[in-house]
């Protein structure tokens, strides 16, 4: 599908357009998100907040500012009554171990690494026998690893600087599930950490290793437990709410917080920051110390980062896939990083730094491509359908030949019936026009904004448009002149300015390339009287 569609669309639209059954739907996700952001119109809303002894409560969002002001005024002269107090003990289980995709997402969010960088660092750690196999989509370990796990956990804890002063526990049952391990188990550090000189590791590898180690320690740690209090207060006929929490056991979050504290640029975890509420009783009256109207605006969807895009790829089209499909989403953990890199290298995606995050933005050509691509090639459903068919082959309900025939038929139909959409010939940036062959290496020379350049990266041949020699004659090398210079080594030019006389003259320019610089000289016609 990739090779045939790439050829078809490249030929039809006169430039290389890389298409793939994973690449194109991934690009479509990004283009669609940008369209949602572009068309988003923020809507203002208003919230009334009341200051009560020791805590603040907020009302519902209101669309009309005048109504909010009215409510605020009404509250200022009234008392607040506690209508409802709910206390619940809650527990937050530790996160599961890393598969490749979740590790790439966290490394992007916390360390700013691209998916490809994370895979490369992890591959190096695997080759150094410090981490287990990287290209996995499982987040669990097998039961035969249960016995040796406490030893590994202790050893990893001792090697990590961030766990100083934090007690380590190991509940192996939390991370063991044979049914959820396919070819490879989750990514964890190995026992070779003991005695290894971690300070000698390159920065990227060390950071990824610490992240993998942190996740192992968190995954087997105790749950984070807290008591949550939700309060409903009534004032002037309207309801206001507030939540607070009291931590009972920091559990795995203690390790997580200690690790984050050592990172630059990371914000503390908002979820654990709720303050405790004072002791309150239902029916209790509370004095108001102030009321205010706060204005907010609805926010547009966020631009994709590698973290959020990897997550979107993992879940794309999931609801349309059969329950027994072995792989869901777009691509596999092993291929997703490569797909993103290819989209960047082919000019469809750009990485743009904004504050602390790097956003993935589609180029003009990416938007154009998604505009002209048939729905079938930009939808994750194609992959979903294939996964379903492969399941049928596995169960003997379909022959491989029939499966391949279906794909051939689809492609023949695409190639045979796809028509260039009218008016789209201007959508893509025009391909660079070749003006001749390079006198040094024989590669193509093309025109760019600032001059004419050889396309061979190792060759530095260039004819610049703002060249001093040409500027003195008040001329600029044109496409026609450069084409002649590259073909014949000489070109006729008219209307050259003479600095001596202030007049203009005609002459022939000769290209003399010395292998380092493109030089020029003038030759004049033989005039009557034999003077040159």
pLDDT band for 326, please (50, 70, 90 cuts): low
pLDDT at 527 over 70: no
Mark 361-380 as b/e (b = at least 16 C-beta within 10 Å). bbbebbbbbbebbeebbbbb
Taking residues 380-388, what's their average pLDDT? 83
44-93+224-254+264-297 CATH fold: Topoisomerase I; domain 3 (2.70.20)
Tell me the mean pLDDT in the region 457-481: 85
Phi-psi region of 377 (alpha: psi -120 to 50; beta: other; left: phi over 0): alpha
Beta bridge partners of 270: none
First-to-last alpha carbon distance for the chain, in angstroms, is 66
Average pLDDT value for residue range 294-301: 94
CA-nearest of 368, 418, 364, 405 to 5 is 418
Helix (H) or strand (E) holding 513: strand 504-513
Confidence of residue 99 (pLDDT cuts 50, 70, 90): very high
Confidence of residue 450 (pLDDT cuts 50, 70, 90): confident
* Radius of gyration of the CA atoms of the chain, in A: 33
Across the range 33-42, mean pLDDT stands at: 95
Q: Do domains 2-36+318-425 and 100-219 have the same CATH topology?
A: no
CB atoms inside a 10 Å sphere around CB 472? 12
Q: Give the residue numbers marked as catalytic.
A: 133
Count the alpha carbons within 13 Å of 478 in the hemisphere toward its beta carbon: 8
Least confident stretch, 388-392, 426-430, 469-473: 426-430
Residue spans of the domains in the chain: they are 2-36+318-425, 44-93+224-254+264-297, 100-219, 434-523
Average pLDDT for 128-156: 93
Q: Distance between CA atoms of 440 and 458, rounded to whole angstroms? A: 11
pLDDT at 251: 94
* Token couple for 205: 């590898």
> Does 252 score more than 80 pLDDT?
yes
Provide the Cα torsion 42, 355, 275, 88; round to 10°. 70
More confident residue, 412 or 330: 412
For residue 532, pLDDT over 50 is answered with no
DSSP state of 354: E
Does residue 507 come out as left (phi exceeding 0), alpha (psi in the -120 to 50 range) or beta? Answer: beta
Provide the percentage of residues in the chain whose pLDDT is more than 70.
94
| CA atoms within 13 Å, Cβ hemisphere of 269 | 13
On whether the CB atoms of residues 435 and 445 are closer than 8 A, the answer is yes
* Average pLDDT of the residues of the chain: 88
CB of 321 closer than 8 Å to CB of 386: no
Question: Can you tell me the distance from the alpha carbon of 444 to that of 532, in angstroms, rounded to the nearest whole number?
Answer: 36
**Nearest partner of 322 among 395, 385, 406, 407, judged by Cα:** 385
CA–CA dist 115, 109 (Å, integer): 11
With CA atoms as reference, report the closest residue to 30 among 427, 356, 334, 312. 312
- Asked if residue 334 has pLDDT above 70, the reply is yes
Per-residue pLDDT tens over the stretch 46-73: 999 999 998 999 999 999 999 999 999 9
Interatomic CA distance for residues 405 and 412, integer angstroms: 10
pLDDT band (50, 70, 90) for residue 430: low
Q: With contact defined as beta carbons under 8 Å apart, do 218 and 225 qualify?
A: no
CATH of region 100-219: 1.10.290.10
The angle formed by the CA atoms of residues 414, 418 and 421, to the nearest 5 degrees, is 150
Residue 409: which pLDDT band, with cuts at 50, 70 and 90? very high
Task: Spell out where 188-339 has E strands.
Answer: 224-235, 238-249, 285-286, 290-297
Structure tokens at 26: 């991934």
- How far is Cα 109 from Cα 491, in angstroms, rounded to an integer? 57
pLDDT of 153 above 70: yes
CATH of domain 2-36+318-425: 1.10.460.10
Average pLDDT of the segment spanning 401-416: 94
Q: Which of 240, 243, 244 is nearest to 291 (CA)?
A: 240
Query: Is residue 201's pLDDT more than 70?
Result: yes
Whether residue 348 contacts residue 366, with contact meaning beta carbons closer than 8 Å, is answered with yes
Backbone angles phi, psi at 531, to 5 degrees: -75, 145
């Amino acid at each position: 599908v990739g090779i045939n569609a790439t050829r078809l669309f490249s030929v039809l639209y006169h430039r290389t357009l890389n298409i793939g059954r994973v690449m194109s739907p991934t690009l479509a996700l990004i283009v669609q998100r940008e369209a949602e952001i572009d068309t988003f119109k923020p809507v203002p809303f208003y919230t009334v907040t009341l200051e009560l002894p020791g805590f603040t409560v907020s009302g519902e969002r209101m669309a009309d500012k005048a109504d909010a002001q009215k409510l605020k005024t009404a509250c200022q002269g009234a008392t607040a009554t506690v209508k409802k107090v709910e206390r619940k003990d809650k527990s937050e289980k530790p996160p599961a171990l890393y598969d490749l995709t979740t590790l790439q997402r966290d490394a992007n969010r916390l360390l700013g690494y691209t998916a490809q960088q994370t895979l490369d660092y992890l591959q190096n750690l695997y080759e150094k026998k410090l981490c287990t196999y990287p290209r996995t989509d499982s987040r669990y370990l097998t039961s035969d690893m249960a016995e040796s796990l406490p030893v590994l956990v202790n050893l990893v804890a001792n090697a990590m600087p961030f766990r100083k002063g934090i007690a380590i526990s190991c509940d192996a049952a939390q991370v063991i599930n044979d049914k959820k391990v396919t070819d490879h188990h989750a990514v964890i550090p190995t026992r070779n950490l003991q005695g290894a000189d971690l300070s000698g590791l390159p920065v990227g590898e060390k950071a990824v290793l610490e992240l993998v180690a942190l996740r192992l320690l968190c995954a087997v740690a105790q749950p984070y437990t807290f008591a949550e209090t939700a309060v409903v207060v009534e004032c002037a006929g309207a309801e206001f709410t507030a939540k607070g929490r009291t931590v009972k056991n920091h559990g795995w979050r203690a390790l997580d917080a200690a690790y984050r504290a050592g990172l630059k640029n990371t914000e503390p975890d908002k979820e654990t920051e709720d303050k405790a509420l004072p002791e309150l009783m239902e029916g209790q009256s509370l004095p108001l110390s102030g009321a205010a109207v706060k204005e907010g605006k609805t926010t547009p969807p966020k631009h994709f980062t590698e973290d959020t895009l990897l997550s979107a790829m993992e879940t794309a089209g999931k609801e349309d896939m059969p329950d027994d499909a072995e792989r869901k989403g777009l691509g596999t953990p092993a291929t997703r990083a490569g797909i993103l890199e290819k989209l960047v290298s082919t000019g469809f995606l750009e990485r743009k730094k904004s504050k602390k995050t790097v956003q993935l933005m589609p180029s003009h050509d990416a938007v154009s491509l998604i505009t002209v691509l048939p729905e079938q090639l930009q939808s994750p459903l194609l992959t979903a359908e294939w996964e379903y068919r492969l399941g049928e082959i596995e169960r003997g309900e379909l022959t491989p030949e029939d499966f391949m025939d279906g794909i051939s038929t689809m492609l023949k139909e695409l190639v045979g019936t796809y028509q260039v959409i009218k008016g789209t010939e201007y959508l893509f940036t025009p391909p660079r026009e070749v003006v001749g062959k390079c006198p040094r290496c024989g590669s193509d020379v093309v025109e760019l904004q600032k001059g004419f350049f050889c396309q061979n990266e190792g060759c530095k041949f260039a004819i610049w448009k703002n060249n001093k020699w040409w500027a003195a004659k008040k001329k600029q090398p044109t496409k026609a002149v450069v084409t002649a210079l590259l073909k014949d080594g000489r070109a006729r030019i008219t209307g050259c300015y003479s600095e001596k006389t202030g007049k203009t003259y005609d002459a022939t320019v000769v290209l003399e390339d010395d292998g380092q610089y493109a030089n020029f000289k003038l030759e004049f016609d033989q005039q009557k009287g034999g003077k040159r």
